[in-house]
Amino acid sequence: MVVKEQKVAVVTGCSTGIGLETCMLFARSGIHTYATMRDLSKAGLIKKIAEKEKIPLKFIEMNVNKDDSVEKAFENIFDEGMRIDILVNNAGFGLFGALEDLLITDIKKQFETNLFGAIRTIQQVLPVMRNQRSGNIVNISSVAGYIGFPTSSAYVSTKFALEGLSESLAYEIEQFGINIILIEPGVINTNFVKNIMIPDNTQPISSSILASSSPSTSPTVISTISNTHPDNPKYQREITQYARVVDSFLSHYYPAMRNAPDPKEVARVIMKSIQRSVVSNKEGVNFFRYPVGEDAKLYAEAKKKMSDYELHSFVAKRTIT
């Protein structure tokens, strides 16, 4: 049961990474936190920690791709009290590969989670936040929410969309004292690479780069066209025509993940951003952006200062040359 006056938070995608660290930090700070995840069997370890530390952390099943799962999760949360102070839209994954190699159905899956998932939860919390005339909606975007990167067009599109949605929504909800916060991490050391989806004709490139940078990680392979061929059932689609650019990009990206900041750093920025937004809202400001990590800060500065042409060359030099 929520203690009166206690802040209440809902975080999506808490099984690993940024979501896990955020729900732990919230609960350890005394915020009554609903850690949601699509597979509750992954909650084992944090459940044990929460019980041991006696922190206010509850676990709720929520698959952000599904209307009924999101509705049911919020019904359970609202049964305990009609208050939500913080929503963190964190659940997400990356679909990588050249656009020509991707199937529309896979691109739709990418939007289903990274964009529509966030819209579903926002629509659930808005009536409650409007009623209480306060609230913080934190959307986990990315450096890929304001800069396009090679072989990342599907992922980048979802994060640009999330940024546009957040910027627009801020005008609608400021009258109700609700804040929108965009968190824009650069590369962060989580399971993100392990959970990346990659088309089959790109997978061999990805695997060999990964084998040399992190042998224990293998991304999900998707078959964007059938692996079968009328003459030869073992036929595999030829390697992507975009091999050079994919190879260069992943050769920069995968090793960067090894030395990247810990997801705890993102959780700390989320916490600070909420504390600051509460103060700023009293001065009439309700929309905020926070890059996380040196790479994200560098790119954010570059985006502000450079012409489109300069920015294109800057990104190319750092990623595919």
Mention every residue, 6+ apart, whose C-beta is less than 8 A from residue 150.
245, 246, 248, 249, 315, 316, 319, 320
Please answer whether residues 205 and 246 qualify as being in contact, where contact means their C-beta atoms are separated by less than 8 angstroms: yes
**Nearest distance in Å: CB 247, ligand NAP:** 20
Quick one: 130 or 268, whose CB is closer to ligand NAP?
268
| Residue 68 CB, nearest approach to ligand NAP (Å) | 13
Q: Is 222 in the site for ligand NAP (CB under 6 A)?
A: no
Contact call for residue 191 and ligand NAP (CB under 6 A): yes
Q: Is 151 in the site for ligand NAP (CB under 6 A)?
A: no
Verify binding: residue 264, ligand NAP, rule CB under 6 A.
Answer: no
Q: Does residue 113 bind ligand NAP (CB under 6 A)?
A: yes
91 binds ligand NAP (CB under 6 A): yes
CA–CA separation, 148 and 151 (whole Å): 9
Kindly state the smallest distance separating residue 302's Cβ from ligand NAP, in Å: 17
171 carries an active-site annotation: no
182 near ligand NAP, rule: CB under 6 A:
no
Q: Minimum CB separation from ligand NAP for residue 215, in Å? A: 18
Nearer to ligand NAP, 46 or 187 (CB): 187
Dist. CA 57–CA 53, nearest whole Å: 10
Residue 187 as a binder of ligand NAP (CB under 6 A): the answer is yes
**Cα angle at 20 between 167 and 107, to 5 degrees?**
55
Residues with Cβ < 8 Å from 244, sequence gap 6 or more?
Answer: none
Residue in 10, 32, 43, 63 binding ligand NAP, rule: CB under 6 A: 63
Which one of the listed residues 155, 253, 254, 299 is annotated catalytic?
Answer: 155
Buried-exposed string 135-170: b where 16+ CB fall within 10 A, e elsewhere: bbbbbbbbbbbbbebbbbbbbbbbbbbbbebbeebb
Q: Does 97 bind ligand NAP (CB under 6 A)?
A: no
Smallest distance from ligand NAP to CB 93, Å: 5
- Tell me which of 90, 121, 202, 217 binds ligand NAP, using CB under 6 A: 90
Looking at 16-24, 80-88, 101-109, 308-316, which segment touches ligand NAP (CB under 6 A)? 16-24
Residues tagged active-site = 155
Residues binding ligand NAP (CB under 6 A):
12-13, 15-19, 37-39, 42, 63-65, 90-93, 113, 117, 140, 142, 185, 187-188, 190-192, 195, 263
